[in-house]
Amino acid sequence: FGNVLESSGSVVPLFREQIRYGGPVTVTHRDVIRYFMTIQEAAELVIEAGSMAKGGDTFVLDMGNPVKIQDLAKRMINLSGLTVRDDDHPDGDIEIVYTGLRPAEKLYEELLIGDDVSGTDHPCIMRAVEGFIPYSELQTLMQQLSSALDNQDCDRVREILINTVSGYNPSNGIDDLAWKAKSGVARLPVADNVADITSHRG
C-alpha cells in the first residue's frame, strides 16, 4: 500500500502548515518518490479486495504513477500564490530544506517484493503470489526472535529478519533511535507521505 492523502502524517497537510508559517518546507531528499491515493479510493479498493479474498491472500493496489516529493512541495508553494526561494531565486518566499534520509528510509517505495502477481476482476487490484512459512517453522523463528529481543541482541534480530523475510535487505546499520530522540538528536518533522494531486487517474 502507498500513501493516503489527508491521513495521519500525510505530507499535504504538513506542507500546508509549513507554508502557512512561512517555511521552510522540509523534504528528506531531492529524489524521494512515493505513491498516493485518496482516502475514498483507498477505502473502496480495500473493501473490494476484501470481497475477493479466499483466505491468506495478499493484494496489491494500483497506486498510479509515483510522485517526487520535491516537485509536490514546489507545486504546493506555487498554488499558495508564493514562490520557491533557492540559489536561482534568492528573493523567493519559501525555502525547501533537504534534511537527509532517515535510517532505513528508501528513495523509492516498493509496493511489492518480487514480480509474481496475477490480475483480478478489478483492474486496480492485483493478487500477489507470496511464499509462506509453515506454522511449525514460524513458531521456532518467533521463539528465536523473542529470545534475541529479550537479550537485546540486535545483531541476532537483524540476522533472523534477513534470513527469514524475502527481499529484506537493510541498507543501514543498527541505529538507536530511542537514544537519539531522548538526546535531542531527532530532526524536524519531515515529509514521509506523498500525494500526487494532479497525475493520479480519475
Q: Which residues pair with 26 in a beta bridge?
A: 97
Percent of the chain predicted with pLDDT > 70: 77
Residue 194's pLDDT band, with cuts at 50, 70 and 90, is very low
pTM: 0.61
Distance (Å, rounded) from C-alpha 54 to C-alpha 125?
15
Residue 77's pLDDT band, with cuts at 50, 70 and 90, is very high
Distance (Å, rounded) from C-alpha 86 to C-alpha 66?
25
Sign of CA dihedral 88, 93, 94, 95: positive
Q: What digits encode the pLDDT tens for the residues 6-48? A: 777 788 888 999 999 998 999 999 999 888 888 888 888 888 8
Lowest mean pLDDT segment, chosen from 27-41, 49-63, 75-89, 145-159: 49-63
Percent of the chain predicted with pLDDT > 90: 26
- pLDDT for res 71: 94
Does residue 134 or residue 180 have the better pLDDT? 134
CB burial of residue 150 (10 Å; 0-12, 13-18, 19+): exposed
Strand spans (E) along the chain: 3-4, 25-27, 33-34, 36-37, 58-61, 67-68, 84-85, 94-98, 117-119, 125-128
